[in-house]
Amino acid sequence: MSILDKFKLDGRVALVTGGSRGLGETMAEGLADAGANVAITSRNLDECQAVADRIADTTSKEILAFQADVSKPDQVNNMAATVLDRFGQIDILVNNAGVNNRDSTLDLSPENWQTVVDINLSGPLYCAQAVLPNMIERQYGRIINISSIFGMVGFPMRSPYTATKGGLLNMTRCWALEYGKDGITVNALCPAQFDTPLNQPLKQNPEVYQSFIDRIPLGRWGDLPEIASTIVFLASDASSFITGATIPLDGGWTAQ
């Protein structure tokens, strides 16, 4: 087997939450391009199905679309059951679904706080609980939690986002310790700014945009293919001895 063969995902099945746009769409396409069949979720079924159809056309892989709110355990369980019924396995879980809030701490309402916690922190837990039994039974699995550089460092006007993304890092470590014996690796990826719909408000403000660029040693935002290649690495056998890791994908932001 050549070293490049370890990056192939032929015969694998991946589940990507929040896969209908931005980083999730890019990651789903990367996994399919590497050989996996992929299920993607979104709270908007039309958007999700359009992305699934596009990825299927470009990769010739089977791509399933689901409308699911990851903060609702019953919806998550139904989604996982359907994927398992169709493919018989879930090898890769990418916990990508997330929301942000840019209120100051004093202006943050209990409702907005809870929404971020439910999606960013409880959602990954529910998804892991839904897929882990199959992974344990088969003694194989890859769970990749999409955190953020703001899970590693503080940032103003982001209390719920930084809290949940930081919590996700420690949850990643806990799962790695619990399930390493079952052949399951669990890692967290911490992207910096990429050109996604979630980041458009930042990019459209020249002063704010430049303030981010000034803090990135490589002097630019990330290109979407860069996150796809990193996800394929973490999902593949090429990363089989990496677990419990926090991996910044940030152009050097957190090196300072």
Backbone angles phi, psi at 37, to 5 degrees: -80, 145
Whether 161 is catalytic = yes
Alpha helices in 110-152 (DSSP H): 110-117, 123-138
The two three-digit tokens of residue 183, written as one number: 């052949």
Q: Whats the size of the chain, residue-wise?
A: 256
pLDDT digits (tens, 9 = 90+) for 87-99: 999 999 999 999 9
- Looking at per-residue confidence, does 183 or 193 come out higher? 183
Q: Please say if the pLDDT value at position 40 is more than 80.
A: yes
Closest CA to 37 of 24, 52, 21: 52
Specify the pTM. Answer: 0.96
Dihedral angle over CA of 75, 72, 64, 42, nearest 10: 140
pLDDT-based confidence at residue 203 (cuts at 50, 70, 90) = confident
Q: Which of 20-24, 170-174, 192-196, 234-238 has the weakest average pLDDT? A: 192-196
User: Based on the number of CB atoms within 10 Å of its own CB, is 120 exposed (0-12), middle (13-18) or buried (19 or more)?
Assistant: buried
pLDDT at position 196 over 90: no
Looking at residue 200, its pLDDT comes to 79
What does the pLDDT average to over 111-139? Answer: 98
Choice among 115-124, 151-160, 189-198 with the minimum mean pLDDT: 189-198
pLDDT at 1 over 90: no
| Token pair listed for 71 | 């903060």
The mean pLDDT value for 167-191 works out to: 98
pLDDT at 112 over 90: yes
Q: What domains lie within the chain, and their CATH numbers?
A: 3-246 (3.40.50.720)
CA dist 225 and 173 (Å) reads 27
Are the CB atoms for 116 and 150 separated by under 8 Å? no
Provide the β-strand partners of residue 245: none
Q: Which of 140, 161, 179, 209 is catalytic?
A: 161
Concatenated DSSP letters for 22-43? HHHHHHHHHHHHTT-EEEEEES
Residue 199 has pLDDT above 80, yes or no: no
Residue 197, pLDDT > 80, answer: no
Residue 121 CA to residue 126 CA, distance in Å, equals 9
- pLDDT tens-digit series, residues 54-80: 999 999 999 999 999 999 999 999 999
Residue 195 banded pLDDT, cuts 50, 70, 90: confident
The pLDDT assigned to 102 comes to 87
- For Cα atoms 104, 121, 213, give the angle at the middle one, nearest 5 degrees: 55
pLDDT at residue 45, rounded to an integer: 95
- Residue 57 to residue 226: CA distance in whole angstroms: 22
Which residues, at least 6 apart from 97, have a Cβ–Cβ distance to it below 8 Å?
A: 17, 18, 24, 41, 70, 119, 123
